[in-house]
Amino acid sequence: MYMPQIGERIRFLRTRQNLSQSALAEKLSVSKSVVSSYETGVHLPPYDVLLRIAAIFGVSTDYLLGASSGRTINVDGLTDTQIHAIALIVNELKEKQI
């Protein structure tokens, strides 16, 4: 099964955080060649690895799988007031898009 969107999104997230394939592989407890195979679409990450990838990059598995184009912001540990402030900032940025 070939699902290039997963690989493209993993590569995008990895490079955005300035992680090498080797560094991501270490975080996932897999080899660099396995990460490369995910990014090129040769193999799909198994369920447990998909969950770890989502957690590392702070995105949903739906985003990685292409079921959602949106990303999430992890607000664990924040107060309701802080979450509300973040929502206001996000809305402000969306309104000012050029």
According to the model, what pLDDT value does residue 1 have?
A: 45
Domains annotated for the chain, with CATH where assigned, are: 4-65 (1.10.260.40)
How many CA atoms lie within 13 Å of 15's alpha carbon, on the beta-carbon side?
Answer: 8
Q: How far apart are CA 43 and CA 80, in angstroms?
A: 40
Look at residue 51 in the predicted model and tell me its pLDDT: 95
For 42-95, how does the pLDDT look when each residue is reduced to its tens digit (9 = 90+)?
A: 999 999 999 999 999 888 888 898 887 766 777 889 899 998 998 888 888 888
Instruction: Answer whether residue 15 shows pLDDT above 70.
Output: yes
Residue 24 has pLDDT above 70, yes or no: yes
Please report how the helices 21-28 and 47-57 are oriented relative to each other, as an axis angle in degrees rounded to 10.
Answer: 120
- Pairwise CA distance, residues 16 & 96, whole Å: 23
